[in-house]
């Protein structure tokens, strides 16, 4: 297995719920230590794609393969933290489920809190934290078992613009240090471009791959002001607008 | 400071009750309602003798062991009914058909089946409280937000770990509330159960004193029974505070 071996290969993936087809003929490969942003209109099957990759549901067609030894972790939109567990115990839960001893998992949880800038909050409960802090804990919980592939379903959707930007920077920073791969499902064009080495724009009804872009300015936190960044945003927005126009035409006919 | 505040409020409430009691005693006369000072004095003297502590001990052992028995049986069963729909489908009709039955009417049956010892009394109290805990726990699990199940699935836990890390802590606050609410009923059932076929316990003491027309001793028994009720309620309250700290924080928000 060499560096070129992808971490994930998706071929001709389809998913139907009864008669309704929500995902059709999606194929792509994600190289190791790389990131993919999936963007598309609401209800286009982005989250379905993610839950299929996470193994939370089974595909109706096609297949998902992990050519490398791959450990995945999932971050949900509403953080998925357990309100009855302290921040430290929420963070350490994946390790506890794997049978890691108390002292070792607490030590790792505290180190993770430090990395996330949440020192001193270990004995608090999730409801005592702000939305941004909770999402940091959710990111920490996903990263604590050192996953090879991180799956995120609109993780920053409920946050204000500034917190959102801080967390985008944190995620990029964590990626640069850990080099895990990640797939980010979002409906925010700027976020998709900032965090995606690759950007996949999905079409609608049933959702399929509409556009696949490579992002040359990915990995640079200061790229938000570059021309390439804006050009990519224009391209993604153009594809999304074309989606809307098609839907409108279909609705009229 | 907080403990002092709580203590102060209890003392004020106690004094208010004494005042009302005193007013009632003056209006009704000492035979119907002895004065609080006389009852407190007699109670204090009775506590120094061997009889009253013995009666209190017998009643306390019965009520606490019954509530413990109710909790350790009804709580797991409630979780099982809440998360296993197939079992719930068969057992729930049985539970709901027998739930409105006043369990105290089974006292003669229990005395016949289990003899004259502590067993029938403990079982009767446990049955009365157990139903409330069972129904509330089952409903608590059924109403549990599906996102907690999904979040746990993404972490890859086993069904046994799901019970430990999600179902038990999620159902505990409502079960503890049910336990607290049922503590009043438990003491009432204890009184009834101790009125028959026993010579130990506060129920016996009260009924025996009443039969002999010894108002002062009867009221000493009533006072002990009230204090026992308070102890049971406060024990449930303390247990709730220890095991469901997160819920208190959530309510305060």
Interface mutation vs chain B, best among A58, A84, A141, most B CBs within 10 Å: A84
pLDDT tens column, A182-199? 999 998 899 999 999 999
CB < 8 Å to A80, chain B:
147-148, 150-151, 154
Residue in B151, B165, B244 closest to A80 by CB: B151
Q: How confident is the model over B173-190, as a mean pLDDT?
A: 92
Report pLDDT for A2.
62
Q: CB-based contacts of A70: which residues, under 8 Å, 6+ apart?
A: A7, A8, A148, A149
CB of B248 less than 8 A from some CB of A:
no
- Judge contact between A139 and A174, C-beta under 8 A: yes
Is the peptide bond preceding residue A206 cis, with omega within 30 degrees of 0? yes
CB of B253 less than 8 A from some CB of A:
yes
Q: What share of chain A in percent tops pLDDT 70?
A: 98
Is A58 within the bounds of a domain?
yes
Contact A82 B156 (CB under 8 A): no
Residue in B147, B170, B244 closest to A80 by CB: B147
Structure tokens that stand for A92 in this block:
């350490």
Is A34 within the bounds of a domain?
yes
Of the pLDDT bands very low, low, confident and very high (cuts 50, 70, 90), residue A219 is confident
Instruction: State the count of interchain CB pairs (< 8 A) between A and B.
Output: 53
Is A236 within the bounds of a domain?
yes
Contact B153 A56 (CB under 8 A): yes
* A83 CA: distance to closest CA in chain B (Å): 7
CB of B150 less than 8 A from some CB of A:
yes
Query: Angle at which helices A87-97 and A102-115 pack, to 10 degrees?
Result: 130
CA distance B34 to B22: 9
Has residue A1 got a pLDDT over 60? no
Is A229 within the bounds of a domain?
yes
* A56 CA: distance to closest CA in chain B (Å): 7
Provide the CATH number for the domain around residue A177.
3.40.50.300
Residue in B154, B161, B247 closest to A74 by CB: B154
Has residue B253 got a pLDDT over 60? no
Domain of residue A200, residue span: 6-71+147-252
Contact A80 B157 (CB under 8 A): no
Phi-psi region at B154: left, alpha or beta (left = phi > 0; alpha = psi -120 to 50): alpha
Restricting to A residues 47-66, those with a Cβ less than 8 Å away from any Cβ of B are: 54, 56
Is A237 within the bounds of a domain?
yes
CA distance B60 to B65: 8
Report pLDDT for B1.
67
CB of B148 less than 8 A from some CB of A:
yes
Report pLDDT for B130.
93
Is A139 within the bounds of a domain?
no
Contact A93 B253 (CB under 8 A): no
Contact A127 B165 (CB under 8 A): no
CATH 3.40.50.300 fits B34-252, yes or no: no
- The order of strands in the sheet holding A35-39 is A72-75, A149-153, A181-186, A35-39, A198-202, A209-214
Predicted TM-score (pTM) of this structure: 0.82
pLDDT tens column, A102-143? 999 999 999 999 888 888 999 999 999 988 899 889 989 988
Name the 3-class secondary structure at A26: strand
Q: How confident is the model over A241-245, as a mean pLDDT?
A: 81
Report pLDDT for B64.
96
* Residue A129 DSSP class: S
Has residue A3 got a pLDDT over 80? no
Report pLDDT for A159.
81
Contact A56 B157 (CB under 8 A): no
**Sequence spans of domains, chain B:** 1-33, 34-252
Contact B155 A83 (CB under 8 A): no
Report pLDDT for B251.
65
Has residue B134 got a pLDDT over 60? yes
Has residue A154 got a pLDDT over 80? yes
pLDDT tens column, A6-50? 889 999 988 888 888 888 888 999 998 899 999 988 777 888 899
Residue of chain A minimizing CA distance to B158? A97
Has residue B167 got a pLDDT over 80? yes
Has residue B57 got a pLDDT over 90? yes
Residue of chain A minimizing CA distance to B161? A97
Residue in B154, B156, B245 closest to A80 by CB: B154
CB of A152 less than 8 A from some CB of B:
no
CB < 8 Å to B148, chain A:
80, 82
Residue in A54, A84, A96 closest to B246 by CB: A84
Cβ neighbours, 10 Å, residue B37: 12
Backbone CA torsion sign across B53, B57, B60, B62: negative
Residue of chain A minimizing CA distance to B245? A84
Q: What share of chain A in percent tops pLDDT 90?
A: 33
Interface mutation vs chain B, best among A70, A87, A88, A97, most B CBs within 10 Å: A97
pLDDT tens column, B20-54? 999 999 999 888 889 999 999 999 999 998 889 99
Domain count for chain A: 1
Whole-angstrom CA distances from A201 to A84, A165, A204, A208, A216 are: 38, 21, 10, 9, 17
Asked whether this complex has an ipTM greater than 0.85, the answer is: no
Has residue B252 got a pLDDT over 80? no
CB < 8 Å to A100, chain B:
none
CB of A123 less than 8 A from some CB of B:
no
């Amino acid at each position: 297995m060499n560096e070129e071996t992808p971490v994930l290969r998706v071929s001709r993936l389809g998913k139907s719920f009864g008669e309704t087809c929500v995902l059709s003929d999606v194929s792509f490969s994600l190289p190791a230590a790389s990131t993919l942003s999936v963007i598309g209109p609401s209800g286009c099957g982005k989250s379905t794609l993610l839950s299929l990759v996470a193994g939370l549901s089974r595909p109706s067609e096609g297949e998902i393969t992990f050519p490398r030894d791959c450990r995945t972790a999932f971050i949900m939109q509403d953080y998925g933290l357990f309100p009855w567990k302290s921040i430290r115990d929420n963070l350490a839960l994946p390790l506890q489920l794997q049978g890691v001893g108390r002292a070792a998992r607490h030590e790792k949880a505290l180190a993770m809190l430090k990395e996330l800038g949440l020192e001193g909050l270990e004995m608090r409960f999730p409801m005592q934290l702000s939305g941004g802090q909770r999402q940091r804990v959710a990111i920490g919980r996903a990263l604590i078992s050192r996953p090879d592939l991180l799956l995120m379903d609109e993780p920053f959707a409920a946050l204000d613009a500034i917190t959102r930007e801080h967390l985008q920077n944190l995620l990029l920073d964590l990626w640069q240090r850990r080099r895990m791969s990640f797939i980010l499902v979002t409906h925010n064009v700027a976020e998709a471009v900032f965090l995606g080495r690759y950007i996949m724009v999905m079409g609608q009804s049933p959702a399929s791959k509409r556009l696949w872009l490579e992002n040359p300015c990915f990995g640079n936190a200061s790229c938000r002001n570059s021309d390439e960044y804006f050009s990519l945003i224009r391209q993604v927005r153009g594809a999304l607008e074309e989606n809307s126009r098609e839907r409108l035409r279909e609705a009229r006919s | 400071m907080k403990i002092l505040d709580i203590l102060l409020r209890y003392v004020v409430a106690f004094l208010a009750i004494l005042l009302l009691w005193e007013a009632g005693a003056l209006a009704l006369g000492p035979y119907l309602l002895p004065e609080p000072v006389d009852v407190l004095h007699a109670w204090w003297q009775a506590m120094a003798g061997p009889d009253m502590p013995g009666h209190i001990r017998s009643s306390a052992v019965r009520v606490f062991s019954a509530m413990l028995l109710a909790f350790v049986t009804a709580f797991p069963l409630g979780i099982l009914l809440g998360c296993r729909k197939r079992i719930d489908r068969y057992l729930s009709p049985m539970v709901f058909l027998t739930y409105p039955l006043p369990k105290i009417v089974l006292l003669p049956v229990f005395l016949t089946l289990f003899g004259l010892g502590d067993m029938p009394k403990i079982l009767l109290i446990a049955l009365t409280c157990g139903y409330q805990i069972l129904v509330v726990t089952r409903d608590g699990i059924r109403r549990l937000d599906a996102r907690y199940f999904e979040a746990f699935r993404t972490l890859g836990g086993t069904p046994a770990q799901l019970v430990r890390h999600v179902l038990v802590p999620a159902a505990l606050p409502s079960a503890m509330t049910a336990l607290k609410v049922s503590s009043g009923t438990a003491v009432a059932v204890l009184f009834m159960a101790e009125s028959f076929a026993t010579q130990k316990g506060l129920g016996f003491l009260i009924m025996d004193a009443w039969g002999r027309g010894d108002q002062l001793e009867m009221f000493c028994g009533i006072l002990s029974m009230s204090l026992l009720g308070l102890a049971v309620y406060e024990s449930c309250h303390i247990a709730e505070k220890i095991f469901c700290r997160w819920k208190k924080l959530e309510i305060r928000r």
